Structure 1
Amino acid sequence: MSPTSSRPSEVAVSEELLAPVGSGVELCYQTFGDPDDEPLLLLMGLGGPMTWWDPALCRTLAALGFFVVRFDSRDTGRSTKVPGRVTRTQLVRAFAGRRVRAPYSLVDLAEDAFGLLDHLGVGSAHVVGTSMGGMVVQTMAIERPERVRSLTSIMSTTGRRTVGWQSPRLLPMLLADRSAGREAYVAASAATWAMIGSPGFPPDQDTARARARQTWDRGFDPQGVLRQMLAVLTQPDRTPGLRGVRVPTLVVHGPGDRMVHVSGGRATASAVPGAELLLVEGMGHDLPPALHDTIAGAIRRVADRAGEA
């Protein structure tokens, strides 16, 4: 049965806090809801701080009986920026599938997430990730399945290069210089969301610009985005590992996703035994407010499957 502990307007929200998670990394995090409820960890995608998880969605999830934790991954927001410079040549080589040494891997990002759960005293949690975050939560379920109650992978892929590709029109944007200053970043960010956002629910430009300014002001690091990008580009094909995942799994994708082709979602759901595939018409590579109830309800549904196991 799905809990309904409170209305979204009544949900308790913590201040932003810091957690040491090992290897010299501190993560900035924030919680929504009652710590006695089921823990739900949210992982954002490439270059995205925790503030890209809309507080309204976090409150909705908390009202459904989750203790929601959102956080800045390393190299985003107020979390640790790690050493290591990435060059355009390295990125081009990685895009071409050639061997490149990355400053860290998706496994390292998964270990950061486990370290945050340790800090919170949480043995296992429901995990939800979008895009790169989906790749990390898949990795978590493969590496330490006993710590994952349920898995939700949104607009993500398996790491196999023949699925989940980017539209070629996006490559100049992905390789663009992000160090030209705040207003240049804001303009580029708004243009990016106009390209990759949900075609059925077009992003509001004023909202996109406000979010970009907040992202810059909380500690945007252009090199951090490139380090994360290299972790994504050098990821292994997780298909064999996903075949061994036994936790309840939900895969959400939009047929109109230009950043990660819907084939990536289909391949993820096909690889995990018993996974539910939810294809949302009109959805692209974002989480528009009009879809919050749909997505939150699906997350609650897969979490309930974990309780029935």
Structure 2
Amino acid sequence: MVTETMMPVNGIELCVETFGEPGDPALLLIAGAASSMDWWDDEFCRRLAAGGRFVIRYDHRDTGRSTSFPAGDPPYSDVDLAHDALGVLDALSVHRAHLVGLSIGGMLAQRIAVDRPHRVLSLTLMSTSTSPPAFELSFPADDAGASDSEDKPTDWTDRRSAIDGLVSSARRLGGPFTADILQLRRLAQRVVDRTHDMTASQTNHYICAEGPPVRDRLHGITAPTLILHGTLDPFFTPPHAEALCAEIPGARLVWLEGVGHEFPPAAVWAQVIDEIMGQAGRRTQPA
């Protein structure tokens, strides 16, 4: 069973979609910055649900169908983004969940794990780093959003330019297993057509206020933690994953060979799903 609905969360509306049976253990997918839930592939979500999980994905504020704010002036912080994730669980009457966070979504999951440990059954942190990052970030060439066909910045107010920009970014940050350009264009079209304001979507998460750092509290995480990281990630390079693993007691680091900074490409779904399902079956460490 798949359902998509608008839900009141923290004074705004978030678009939420679920897969599977509500009675199964909940698994919350937290996307990266400027990423709507569309980037969690439909079939990927269905396969997780088929393993006996109630899979939840949602549009962050300023992405997809969720509430949008003026571009360049987000009235929220990353703490609010983390509270949104908890608000989604509250709206679905879910007390505890397995959290799967990618990139900035992984940092939000870390914040939840240290601030609200009683809400977390397990953590899977993908393509992410400590918060703040332990090392300088790597910015691949043209990361401002220039398209492959035109050497100019993306105009997020223009549909074609926005689609080109999303495709270009995915290809630049990905690896040999990244979806082909036609698949990426179909996904980008869906993202653009579902999003209220692409300029806000591609701006506000990167400039919103930062809450208190949690890196010095990661040693207190008791939830079983899995770190999945692409060997070819050009943004959070492998040392970020190693540093994160060293900060969280008992964390396991699993490398995804040939994967860049991206949502799991189909070529590694079997590995990623097996790892997530196995992680979701591990017992929480004693406090």
Q: TM-score, normalised by structure 2?
A: 0.90
Partner-residue secondary structure (3-state), 2:99: strand
The match for 1:222 is 199
The match for 2:230 is 254
> Are the aligned partners of 2:145 and 2:166 in contact in 1 as well (CA < 8 Å)?
no
Q: Distance in 1 between matches of 2:171 and 2:140?
A: 16
> Are the aligned partners of 2:72 and 2:207 in contact in 1 as well (CA < 8 Å)?
no
Partner-residue secondary structure (3-state), 2:34: coil
Does 2:2 align with 1:13?
yes
Note the alpha carbon deviations across 1:70-107, whole angstroms, 9 max, x for none.
10011000001134625xxxxxxxxxxxxxxx632221
> Are the aligned partners of 1:255 and 1:282 in contact in 2 as well (CA < 8 Å)?
yes
The match for 2:182 is 206
Q: TM-score, normalised by structure 1?
A: 0.84
Per-residue deviation, 1:262? 2.0
The match for 1:299 is 276
Q: Specify the code of the residue in structure 1 equivalent to 2:127.
A: M
> Are the aligned partners of 1:103 and 1:227 in contact in 2 as well (CA < 8 Å)?
no
Given the superposition, is the C-alpha separation of residues 85 and 202 from structure 1 closer, same or farther in structure 2, using an over 3 Å criterion? closer
The match for 2:84 is 112
Per-residue deviation, 1:170? 4.7
Q: Specify the code of the residue in structure 2 equivalent to 1:198.
A: G
Does 2:26 align with 1:39?
yes
Per-residue deviation, 1:173? 3.2
Q: Distance in 2 between matches of 1:67 and 1:43?
A: 14
> Are the aligned partners of 2:2 and 2:18 in contact in 1 as well (CA < 8 Å)?
yes
What is the aligned-residue identity percentage?
Answer: 37
Does 2:50 align with 1:63?
yes
The match for 2:115 is 143
Q: Distance in 2 between matches of 1:161 and 1:308?
A: 25
Given the superposition, is the C-alpha separation of residues 236 and 278 from structure 1 closer, same or farther in structure 2, using an over 3 Å criterion? farther
Given the superposition, is the C-alpha separation of residues 297 and 147 from structure 1 closer, same or farther in structure 2, using an over 3 Å criterion? same
Q: Distance in 1 between matches of 2:100 and 2:204?
A: 22
Q: Distance in 2 between matches of 1:303 and 1:150?
A: 6
Does 2:270 align with 1:270?
no
Q: Distance in 2 between matches of 1:235 and 1:166?
A: 23
Note the residue ranges of structure 2 that are not aligned, 5 or more in a row. Answer: 147-151
Partner-residue secondary structure (3-state), 1:172: coil
The match for 1:281 is 257
Per-residue deviation, 1:229? 1.0
Give 1 or 2: higher helix fraction. Answer: 1
Number of aligned pairs? 279
The match for 1:193 is 170
> Are the aligned partners of 2:5 and 2:17 in contact in 1 as well (CA < 8 Å)?
yes
The match for 2:149 is none
Per-residue deviation, 1:267? 1.6
Q: Distance in 1 between matches of 2:256 and 2:211?
A: 26
Q: Distance in 1 between matches of 2:212 and 2:236?
A: 16
